[in-house]
Structure 1
Amino acid sequence: MPELPEVETMVRGIRDAVEGATLTRVELPVCACRPISIKPDFPLLQERVAGRKIVEATRRAKRVVLRLDNDDRFVVEPRMTGLVLLEDAPDETHFRFEWHLLLKRRRSILRFWDRRGLGTVRLFSAEEYEQELGPPKLGPDALEMTPKLWATQLSRTARPLKVALLDQKLVAGIGNLYASEILHLAKLSPHRPANSLERAEWNRLNKATLKVLELAIRYEGSTLGDGTYRNALNKDGSYQNQHRVYMKHDQKCPTCRKGTIERIVQAQRSTFFCAKCQPE
């Protein structure tokens, strides 16, 4: 579930504890669940990072990035249920990877927890990082979009607008939850062909994207009914209390108070919208 706001919240939560810290070692905790994907092989990874310093904690789309002093980068992709934590996890049985840190004589452990085991931990050289996560593999970051850039990126496809927003090659960081929220705030139908928007609509889409994502970051992401997402200190996010349409199907639209929130399936993902607020 973690999307751009949740991953940005994770990064902000760990930054002070990891930037400038020395990696004393990395470990694979004992876990009876299926192993996650780790590359390169763990013994080689251990050898490459021993004694290295973390110089930057940042984000690339929906991934946590730890840049080391030799410009190698740990890239953690949480996927559906992964969390990067400094404090206790939802349970003790799904720890997957540990970074043991030393910062100003203080020792700490950064952990990757993943209930479903779909997440990944990869160590890239600077060149590998650009090859795997630079253009054209990932598009511009959603927080760096402009109306002109939206027009450039989405005019490439006639797919429904909601489906296009999920294409990480076009724009990076937006997932299913926030796509529905953005389109509702922008008053744009999820059915619209992405290349059919006009100038005023690109402006609305850009404004809505920044407003939704920045507010979600301020509220530290969305913790849904399954309780899986937690911030770096094992606390709930609270943006779920601000959702307008996501998982609100069959309820009255909070925006127009006339329509009813509908749920449809697009590209095998649920889309939530109000037909009155978001006419085709």
Structure 2
Amino acid sequence: MPELPEVETMRRGVQGVVEHTIRRVRRTPCRLKPIQIQPRIDALDRRVAGRKITAVGRRGKRLLLHLDDASAIVIEPRMTGLILVADPPNEQHLRVRIELEGPRHEDLLFWDRRGLGTFRWLPAETLARLLDQSTLGVDALEVTAAQLQATLAASRRAVKVALLDQRAVAGIGNLYAAEILHVAGVDPRTRCDSLSGPQWQRIAAATRQVLGEAIRYEGSTLSDGTYRNALNSAGGYQNHHRVYDREGQPCRRCGHESIRRIVQAQRATFFCGHCQQRRGKHRSVP
């Protein structure tokens, strides 16, 4: 967390910085674990000061500030990072401030409670490698059944675990993988090489549906309250989760089966045993 819907919500929330010029980039005082900044903040500042932001993009779970020399600032929020144009939740975890000049005179802030995020400047050639699908998979909002099958159908991994592989499909994390498989009616423990063509089609369609819904609700703010949109307001999709973090509660589809929780690859998985039954030519992965 944040996953694709949260980063896309942040991207839309900071679109107003387009056509603004970067006056300077500075690391704010913070006594906590430092985030990864590349190159060093003084060198990064020299390379971007005076550059105009031409577009705000997204690649999977990364936000990209495209600059007028074809380079970009790439921000990866990871577990607890936020990209803001409003006052942050607190000053203690504020990491980087991008000071801007332009009609709206708003600065761009990177806040990160746990300090796991990254803040990088990439020249044009390095940026091209990041955008290439051989480095990160196809964006989850655009993925097709054929693309999923091409990258995952031969895998012996459980499908829930495989969907988290950013080289196969970019943007899906633990929360939305569980939601997608519930909508698709697929047991999260099923091996990828057991899935049929129609099942892959349902997974691809569910991916676009669930992520699109989550973006409309501006992402999911969980019980820890960490995720906020660019204006420091909570998302709303957590009120519409079908299975995630609903252990023991009735399934919203069938109504009579309690949501189960298991652990896969050291991550919690939630599913409905009635709506997501095991099927396939191979035994499901425990």
* Residue of 172, 175, 194 corresponding to 2:173: 175
List per-residue Cα deviations over 1:105-149 (Å, max 9, x = no partner): x42210000000000100001111233453322111001111211
Residue identity opposite 2:55 in structure 1? E
Q: Cα distance, 1:153 vs. partner?
A: 1.8
**Residue 179 of structure 1 aligns to a residue in which SS?**
helix
In 2, distance between residues paired with 1:32 and 1:44? Answer: 21
Counting aligned pairs with the same residue, the percent is 53
Contact (CA 8 Å) 2:185, 2:275: kept in 1 or not?
Answer: yes
Residue identity opposite 1:31 in structure 2? C
**2:187 matched to which residue of 1?**
189
**Residue 71 of structure 1 aligns to a residue in which SS?**
coil
In 2, distance between residues paired with 1:218 and 1:271? Answer: 24
Contact (CA 8 Å) 2:84, 2:109: kept in 1 or not?
Answer: yes
In 2, distance between residues paired with 1:131 and 1:217? Answer: 27
**1:264 matched to which residue of 2?**
262
**1:135 matched to which residue of 2?**
133
- RMSD (Å) for aligned C-alpha atoms: 1.0
**Residue 143 of structure 1 aligns to a residue in which SS?**
coil
* Residue of 99, 105, 108 corresponding to 1:107: 105
In 1, distance between residues paired with 2:28 and 2:10? Answer: 21
In 2, distance between residues paired with 1:156 and 1:49? Answer: 44
TM-score by length of 2: 0.95
In 2, distance between residues paired with 1:73 and 1:57? Answer: 9
In 2, distance between residues paired with 1:135 and 1:31? Answer: 36
Contact (CA 8 Å) 2:25, 2:41: kept in 1 or not?
Answer: no
**Residue 234 of structure 2 aligns to a residue in which SS?**
coil
In 2, distance between residues paired with 1:232 and 1:260? Answer: 35
In 1, distance between residues paired with 2:164 and 2:33? Answer: 28
In 2, distance between residues paired with 1:64 and 1:124? Answer: 12
Q: Cα distance, 1:154 vs. partner?
A: 1.4
List per-residue Cα deviations over 1:73-131 (Å, max 9, x = no partner): 10100010000000011111111011111113x42210000000000100001111233
TM-score by length of 1: 0.97
List per-residue Cα deviations over 1:49-73 (Å, max 9, x = no partner): 1100000101010011001000111
In 1, distance between residues paired with 2:78 and 2:24? Answer: 25
**1:209 matched to which residue of 2?**
207
Q: Cα distance, 1:29 vs. partner?
A: 0.8
Corresponding residue pairs, total: 278
**2:282 matched to which residue of 1?**
none
**1:147 matched to which residue of 2?**
145
* Structure 2 residues without counterparts, runs of 5 or longer: 279-286
* Structure 1 residues without counterparts, runs of 5 or longer: none
**1:254 matched to which residue of 2?**
252
Q: Once superposed, which parts of structure 1, at least 4 consecutive aligned residues long, lie more than 6 Å away?
A: none
**1:22 matched to which residue of 2?**
21
In 2, distance between residues paired with 1:251 and 1:95? Answer: 37
Matched, 1:2 2:11: no
